[in-house]
């Protein structure tokens, strides 16, 4: 045991080496692995963040049942404001000990309001000017973290004496939490995102521990020569990797705690979180702390399985072993097969069997770094150097294509993942935008007064609103068909109906049935509707089937055809002047006095900006993430290139001394970096696009290509190649200088 520790310590000693170069190597490993560790820690915090969020959400659910009279009345209301929603409760305490909702210290009295910090900020800012009329109450406090789902949530608790007892009794707050479902597509997107983000991290941890492998092999050979047995050399090598992994852990925790305070600034609500909650679960933290060093040690041991470190390595270069291809193809083939088997299995609601998809993606991603060394070897083997520079590069790559392939393997995974994500984003984005475009054609605000609200008063208030050109009242009723389906009945004169649907020659006395997305009309003549509120039954008269436009579903019935039908509610369609900016907000403000009593929905609301913003943020985050990873990969490429120059200092110096122009040597360095990178870029683009197509097929969405993004990433890779080569030039100059001819 003591010997094991002392061997590990010797490995650590070798890793820190003492020279500036080995410190630089260690620092690079530390930063590289550290970035990975930080990412892993954030990922490991997700469960606690989601957990806490779900808990808080459950804690502010209303308990509607209880003994005796209700102590509190509550009306839920969502104030739409442009593309945001300020959602909260209007409350009326009936007893002094009425239950207080989480996040505030008392139930607000009449005309008082508690705001969430984000809503308070919005109302204070010029941006929130048009929202202010809807919150005339006196602000008496801020909702604390306990009452918020996320730091950017727009929410409030207002007191209102107008609330009448109805079915809005509150006996308490907080229900047992139930598992929240995630949209399957979103879920898949996150799975791919996580895999794509985390997998390169793992690859990089592997690569980082194997930086300067050739030099390490020589160093270990020297140890073998003085009589360290193979097992001990492995232990010492493990010690070396351990040093890098430990440095990485320290850096990683540093980055994690450094970045954590800023997570509440993330502008996408769903992604923002309270810093105090971003805490990896103990089990996952432990996993990271253990897994990273273990991974580092295991990869370096696995890598050493190939290059048996023999004492003779001191004097002779081992001939590299030819790589075999068959097992390298296994992950790729298996991954593709798994994904193909899932095509069409995911629908809008049904969660796909997650494991085949996850495994498929992981396997395909894994296939890249596994296949690349073989591919680079084969390609390089077939290449012939036309120019002396290319020949030098090719010959070197033939001798040691592994190191280069490993480094670019990391790059390739990032690239492939980025391309895939970009494609998925592009696909989803296209769909969302198409939908938004379709809706943007409507300029109606649909207003639904609550049961018992003063509909006439509301209508009168609306008429005075800025930008309001007309009002159409539609009486409504809801009922169940005998077939089990639900149907909405809309009763209005033709003048109102034709504004909401395309009805060819509408005449009073006719009824129309809107074709639903299933292709069938909402109801047919002879169907019997049972009304929920009264229990009465009504037979559907002859109907004409019309194409729906989305704004009113169900049956459209002219007053003459609605005989015997007692409407239950009213919906007011407010026609707005498209020329007046924010007409919808002005209209909403016009009826601000009715606060919780009315619900409005703006069909023409232009959400494309919002979609653009969300996608923009996601795209930027993705780009930043992949750039960061690419930078790390470039940094490791740089280290490898520098090590190469260092390792081959003598031959380089001899060549320079014997008159080989430095330009030739520099170009050979460029080729050395460019050839593997070109191969890996090609492979990763192919894999990325292939994976993208497969995953999109699995979702069942349109395939779209984000050529600009792909081009950008490819351009960056090319740029990095040049940058890395340029950064190696000073050391090449030094190596080819007089000092280069020294040994060791």
Partner 1 sequence: MSLLRAEGLTKSFGKTHALEGAGITIRAGEVVAVMGPSGSGKSTLLHCLAGILPPDSGTVHYGDRELTAMNDGERSELRRTEFGFVFQFGQLVPELTCLENVALPLRLSGMKRKDAERAARDWLGRLEVDGVADQRPGETSGGQGQRVAVARALVTGPKVIFADEPTGALDSLNGERVMHLLTTAARETGAAVVLVTHEPRVAAYSDREVVVRDGRSRDVEFAR
Residue 433: count other Cβ atoms within 10 Å of its Cβ.
Answer: 15
Nearest to residue 557, comparing CAs of 607, 490, 619, 643? 490
Q: Which stretch binds partner 1 (CB under 8 A): 8-16, 77-85, 361-369, 533-541?
A: 8-16
Q: What is the x/- site pattern for partner 1, positions 304-323, by CB under 8 A?
A: ------xxx-xx--------
Q: Taking CB under 8 A as the rule, does residue 624 contact partner 1?
A: no
Nearer to partner 1, 229 or 460 (CB): 229
Residue 470: count other Cβ atoms within 10 Å of its Cβ.
Answer: 14
Considering only CA atoms, give the Rg of the chain.
Answer: 34
Q: Which stretch binds partner 1 (CB under 8 A): 31-39, 80-88, 356-364, 736-744?
A: 736-744
Instruction: Name the percent of the chain in helix, strand, coil, to the closest 5.
Output: 60, 15, 30
* Nearest distance, CB of residue 392 and partner 1, angstroms: 23
Q: What is the x/- site pattern for partner 1, positions 134-173, by CB under 8 A?
A: ----------------------------------------
Contact (Cβ atoms closer than 8 angstroms) between residue 596 and residue 78: no
Q: Which stretch binds partner 1 (CB under 8 A): 17-25, 71-79, 359-367, 714-722?
A: 17-25
Nearer to partner 1, 250 or 741 (CB): 741
* Nearest distance, CB of residue 4 and partner 1, angstroms: 11
Q: Taking CB under 8 A as the rule, does residue 24 contact partner 1?
A: no
Would you tell me the crossing angle of helices 662-699 and 649-657 to the nearest 10 degrees?
130
Pairing of strands 555-557, 528-531: unpaired
Q: Taking CB under 8 A as the rule, does residue 535 contact partner 1?
A: no
CA distance 723 to 714: 14
Per-residue burial over 710-724, b = 16 or more CB atoms within 10 Å of its CB, e = otherwise? bebbbebbeebbebb
Cβ-in-10-Å burial (0-12, 13-18, 19+) of 164 comes to exposed
CA distance 570 to 490: 9
Q: Taking CB under 8 A as the rule, does residue 648 contact partner 1?
A: no
Q: Taking CB under 8 A as the rule, does residue 3 contact partner 1?
A: yes
* Nearest distance, CB of residue 297 and partner 1, angstroms: 19
Residue 699: count other Cβ atoms within 10 Å of its Cβ.
Answer: 23
Inter-CA distances, 16 with 30, 240, 247, 248, 321, Å: 12, 8, 11, 14, 30
Nearer to partner 1, 175 or 741 (CB): 741
Q: Taking CB under 8 A as the rule, does residue 79 contact partner 1?
A: no
DSSP 8-state code for residue 548? -
Q: Which stretch binds partner 1 (CB under 8 A): 10-18, 57-65, 385-393, 637-645?
A: 10-18
CA distance 499 to 470: 11
Contact (Cβ atoms closer than 8 angstroms) between residue 563 and residue 107: no
Q: Taking CB under 8 A as the rule, does residue 744 contact partner 1?
A: yes
Q: Taking CB under 8 A as the rule, does residue 324 contact partner 1?
A: no
Q: Taking CB under 8 A as the rule, does residue 466 contact partner 1?
A: no
Q: What is the x/- site pattern for partner 1, positions 201-230, by CB under 8 A?
A: -----------------xx--xxxxxxxxx
* Nearest distance, CB of residue 734 and partner 1, angstroms: 14
Q: Which stretch binds partner 1 (CB under 8 A): 6-14, 469-477, 504-512, 589-597?
A: 6-14
CA distance 90 to 534: 28
Q: Taking CB under 8 A as the rule, does residue 18 contact partner 1?
A: yes
Contact (Cβ atoms closer than 8 angstroms) between residue 531 and residue 479: yes
CA distance 584 to 354: 42
Coil, helix or strand at residue 108 = coil
Q: Taking CB under 8 A as the rule, does residue 14 contact partner 1?
A: yes
Query: What are the structure tokens assigned to 644, written together?
Result: 């190469």
DSSP 8-state code for residue 582? T
Q: Taking CB under 8 A as the rule, does residue 734 contact partner 1?
A: no
Q: How big is the site for partner 1, counted in residues (CB under 8 A)?
A: 31
Q: Taking CB under 8 A as the rule, does residue 348 contact partner 1?
A: no
* Nearest distance, CB of residue 741 and partner 1, angstroms: 11
* Nearest distance, CB of residue 376 and partner 1, angstroms: 25
Nearest to residue 306, comparing CAs of 322, 328, 294? 322
* Nearest distance, CB of residue 669 and partner 1, angstroms: 22
Q: What is the x/- site pattern for partner 1, positions 226-255, by CB under 8 A?
A: xxxxxxx-----------------------
Nearer to partner 1, 628 or 657 (CB): 657
CA distance 381 to 669: 18
Nearer to partner 1, 228 or 284 (CB): 228
* Nearest distance, CB of residue 642 and partner 1, angstroms: 15
* Nearest distance, CB of residue 320 and partner 1, angstroms: 15
Residues making contact with partner 1 (CB under 8 A): 2-3, 6, 10, 13-14, 17-19, 22, 218-219, 222-232, 310-312, 314-315, 742-744
């Amino acid at each position: 045991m003591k010997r094991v520790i002392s061997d590990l310590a010797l490995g650590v000693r070798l890793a820190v080496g003492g020279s500036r170069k080995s410190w630089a190597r260690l620092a690079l490993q530390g930063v590289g692995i550290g970035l990975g560790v930080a990412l892993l820690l954030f990922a490991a915090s997700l469960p606690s963040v989601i957990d806490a969020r779900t808990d808080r959400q459950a804690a502010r659910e209303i308990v509607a049942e209880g003994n005796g009279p209700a102590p509190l009345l509550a009306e839920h209301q969502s104030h739409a404001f442009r593309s945001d929603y300020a959602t909260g409760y209007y409350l009326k305490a009936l007893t002094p000990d009425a239950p207080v909702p989480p996040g505030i210290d008392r139930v607000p009295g009449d005309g008082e309001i508690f705001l969430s910090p984000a809503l308070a900020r919005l109302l204070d800012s010029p941006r929130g000017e048009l929202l202010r009329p809807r919150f005339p109450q006196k602000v008496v406090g801020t909702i604390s973290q306990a009452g918020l789902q996320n730091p950017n949530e727009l929410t409030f608790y207002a007191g209102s004496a107008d609330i009448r007892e109805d079915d809005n009794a509150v006996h308490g707050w907080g229900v047992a939490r139930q598992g929240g479902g995630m949209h399957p597509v979103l879920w898949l997107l996150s799975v791919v995102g996580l895999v794509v983000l985390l997998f390169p991290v793992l690859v990089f941890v592997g690569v980082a521990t194997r930086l300067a492998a050739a030099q390490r092999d020589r160093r270990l050979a020297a140890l073998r020569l003085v009589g360290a047995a193979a097992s001990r050399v492995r232990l010492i090598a493990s010690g070396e990797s351990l040093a890098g992994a430990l440095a990485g852990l320290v850096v990683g925790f540093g980055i994690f705690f450094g970045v954590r305070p800023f997570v509440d600034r993330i502008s996408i609500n769903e992604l923002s979180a309270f810093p105090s909650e971003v805490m990896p679960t103990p089990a996952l933290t432990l996993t990271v702390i253990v897994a990273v060093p273990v991974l580092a040690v295991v990869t370096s041991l696995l890598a050493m399985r190939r290059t048996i470190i023999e004492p003779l390595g001191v004097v002779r270069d081992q001939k590299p072993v030819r790589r075999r291809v068959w097992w390298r193809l296994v992950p790729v083939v298996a991954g593709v097969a798994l994904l193909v088997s899932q095509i069409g299995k995911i629908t809008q609601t049904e969660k796909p069997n997650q494991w085949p998809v996850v495994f498929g993606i992981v396997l395909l991603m894994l296939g890249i770094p596994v296949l690349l060394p073989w591919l680079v070897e084969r390609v390089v083997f077939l290449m012939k150097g036309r120019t002396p520079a290319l020949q030098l590069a090719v010959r070197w790559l033939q001798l040691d294509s592994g190191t280069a392939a490993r480094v670019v393997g990391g790059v390739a995974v990032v690239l492939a993942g980025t391309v895939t994500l970009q494609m998925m984003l592009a696909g989803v984005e296209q769909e969302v935008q198409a939908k938004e475009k379709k809706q943007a054609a409507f300029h109606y605000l649909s207003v639904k007064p609550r049961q018992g609200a003063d509909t006439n008063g509301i209508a009168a208030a609306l008429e005075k609103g800025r930008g309001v050109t007309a009002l159409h009242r539609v009486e409504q009723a809801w009922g169940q068909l005998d077939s089990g389906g639900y149907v909405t009945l809309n009763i209005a004169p033709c003048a109102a109906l034709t504004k909401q649907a395309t009805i060819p020659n509408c005449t009073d006395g006719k009824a129309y049935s809107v074709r639903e997305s299933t292709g069938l009309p909402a109801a047919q003549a002879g169907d019997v509707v049972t009304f929920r509120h009264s229990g009465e039954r009504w037979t559907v008269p002859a109907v004409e089937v019309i194409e729906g436009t989305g704004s009113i579903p169900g049956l459209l019935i002219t007053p003459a055809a609605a005989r015997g039908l007692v409407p239950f509610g009213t919906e007011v369609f407010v026609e707005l002047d498209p020329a007046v900016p924010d007409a919808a907000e002005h209209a909403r403000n016009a009826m601000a006095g009715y606060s919780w009593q009315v619900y409005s929905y703006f069909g023409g609301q232009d959400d494309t900006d919002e979609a653009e913003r969300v996608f923009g943020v996601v795209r930027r985050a993705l780009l930043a993430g992949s750039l960061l990873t690419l930078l790390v990969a470039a940094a490791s490429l740089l280290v490898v290139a520098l090590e190469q120059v260092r390792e081959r200092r003598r031959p380089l110096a001899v060549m320079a001394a014997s008159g080989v122009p430095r330009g030739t040597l520099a170009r050979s360095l460029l080729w050395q970096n460019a050839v593997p990178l070109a191969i890996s870029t090609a492979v990763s683009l192919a894999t990325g696009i292939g994976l993208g197509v497969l995953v999109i097929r699995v979702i069942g969405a349109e395939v779209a290509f984000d050529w600009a993004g792909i081009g950008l990433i490819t351009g960056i890779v090319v740029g990095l190649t040049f940058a890395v080569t340029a950064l190696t030039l000073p050391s090449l100059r030094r190596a080819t200088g007089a000092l280069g001819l020294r040994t060791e």
